[in-house]
Chain A
Amino acid sequence: MSMIKDHIVSLLAKDMREDGRKLTEYRKPITIEYGISAKSAEGSARVFIGDTEVVAGVKLEVGKPFPDTPDDGVLMVNAELLPLSNPEFESGPPSIGSIELARVVDRGIRESHMIDTEKLCIKKGEKVWIACIDIYPINDAGNLFDAAALAALAALKDARFPEYDEKEGKVDYSKKTKTKLPLAKEAVEITVIKIKDKFLVDPTTEEWEALDARLTVAVLEDGKLCALQKGGDGSLKPDDIEKMVDIALEKSKELRKLL
């Protein structure tokens, strides 16, 4: 990686990137397609950020709530870094990369209270709706975090409840109601990376591998933050954090327009 990183750094010294983009520029186009697995999933979406492609699907089932939150529905986020999407990914149990991706997306959705989990309660202490979001990269050309968060968000917006027979306690997956999930706020996640003393958004694979540190910021509509994740082997100065959050706030407005 070092020769490639050295070249990236020399370009950054002139505020340039390998593909000609500005440091705070996202690749184009960014597209969101809804209902890509409409027959099987209760909600689904496909996101492209440049060549990076991620799909996400939502399945809804009825089950028992957690004992400590008897009148709340359950939200679960799962991600798998498919070897289909990147020659470096291996088959096998979820890697720490998959787990981090899932948890970072989860945090953005959960902490924004995007889904009012109380509205998912069917019978307190006994039956609640359980929403499972599964995220899969299809082509990894860098910046999976942002694409994954966007895909999960879009899949949730696309989701509708299947028919539920309360008496029998059974879900009929073949019949979808018109009722959408009770969604309130929407958090948009932006990842800002730091290479030497420069800050970039939407890193390509090479830029991601060259980063010293990264910060994924979940931004709400009102400009508040609801989740953060710092990654990378390097450290961030408090000043860096402020700058990166500013960039994230700015870019979140752009991404939000696409939803």
Chain B
Amino acid sequence: MAYKKRFDGRKIEELRPMEAKTGVIKRADGSAMFKIGKTVAIAAVYGPRELHPKFLQNPETGILRCNYNMMAFSGSGERVRPGPSRRSKEISMVTEKALRSVLDLRKFPNAVIDVYIELIQTDSGTRCAGICAAAMALADAGIPMKDLVSAVAVGVIDGSVCVDVTKEEEDYESGMGDIPIAILPRTGEVTLLQLDGEITPDELKKAVELGVKSCKQIYEIQKKALKERFTRESK
């Protein structure tokens, strides 16, 4: 295992410093900011609200729409051309799937819940940060949820399974395994799992274990941020 000491000095199982805050966008029904290392994501939830145009409405169930976007100046190198890319469309889709499982959309016939995620600054782990922010925003909006959703990117670098990879680590060697994972903290169920790179099944098993463990730590940060806004008020 050649990669043991991480570039930023972190331990293999150590997450970058995190910051989370809710209620950051007043016009939204729910909103949150989630920062991990230098990756900063904000999310806003509008809904449930009447879905327009009417022909898209479903009288049996509501729909969830997720839109993930990186601000043009948020990339780590050149400017990111504004507008949806294939990458951002796919991330929007897997984000929607990751969040969908905690919602009972049958409660919102003819309605839509819109989730908008923007990245202000990035250093890897963006889709995971987006999911963490979005889950907090949904809870902040008072939408009934089965659980929160917590996500992190696990990496397999040179045989070493480490959590919360940075861009530097992503670029370190070709074929390093990048595994974003999202879970429901209460049950440990996985709602997002992707892999980019070459790894062994055993490494995957370790990665999922480490991912679940780390997500539970992230959950504590999300919980705290949600409660913080109200702890003064209720006394």
> A residues near B, CB below 8 A?
36-42, 44, 51, 53, 55, 57-59, 61, 78, 80, 82-87, 91, 93-94, 132, 134, 136, 138-141, 171, 173-174
Of the candidate stretches B55-63, B73-81, B181-189, B225-233, the one touching chain A is B73-81
Is B74 within 8 A of A40, CB to CB? yes
Complex interface residues of chain B between 97 and 141 (CB less than 8 A to chain A): 114, 116, 118, 120-123
Does B204 interact with chain A (Cβ within 8 Å)?
A: no
Residue of B nearest to A205 (CB): B27
Total A-B Cβ pairs within 8 A: 95
Q: What residues of B have a CB within 8 angstroms of the CB of A134 in the complex?
A: 71-73, 79, 82
Q: What residues of A have a CB within 8 angstroms of the CB of B28 in the complex?
A: 84, 87, 139
Is A57 within 8 A of B72, CB to CB? yes
Q: What residues of B have a CB within 8 angstroms of the CB of A140 in the complex?
A: 27
How far is A141 from B27 in the complex, measured between Cα atoms in Å? 7
B130 nearest CB across to chain A (Å): 12
Q: What residues of A have a CB within 8 angstroms of the CB of B43 in the complex?
A: 84
Residue of A nearest to B123 (CB): A39
Q: Which of A51, A84, A93 is within 8 Å of B44, CB to CB?
A: A84
How far is A51 from B31 in the complex, measured between Cα atoms in Å? 14
Is B74 within 8 A of A86, CB to CB? no
Is B73 within 8 A of A80, CB to CB? no
Q: Which of B26, B49, B116, B122 is within 8 Å of A40, CB to CB?
A: B122
How far is A78 from B27 in the complex, measured between Cα atoms in Å? 23
Q: Which of A38, A58, A86, A94 is within 8 Å of B27, CB to CB?
A: A86
Give the total of B residues in contact with A, Cβ under 8 Å: 32
Q: What residues of A have a CB within 8 angstroms of the CB of B118 in the complex?
A: 82, 84, 136, 138
Is A51 within 8 A of B79, CB to CB? no
Is A141 within 8 A of B26, CB to CB? yes
Q: What residues of B have a CB within 8 angstroms of the CB of A141 in the complex?
A: 26-27
How far is A55 from B76 in the complex, measured between Cα atoms in Å? 18
Q: Which of B25, B67, B82 is within 8 Å of A138, CB to CB?
A: B25
A-B contact pairs, 12 of them (CB 8 A): A37-B73, A39-B38, A51-B26, A55-B71, A58-B73, A84-B25, A85-B25, A134-B71, A139-B27, A140-B27, A173-B76, A173-B77
How far is A55 from B42 in the complex, measured between Cα atoms in Å? 12
Residue of A nearest to B168 (CB): A174
Is A82 within 8 A of B116, CB to CB? yes
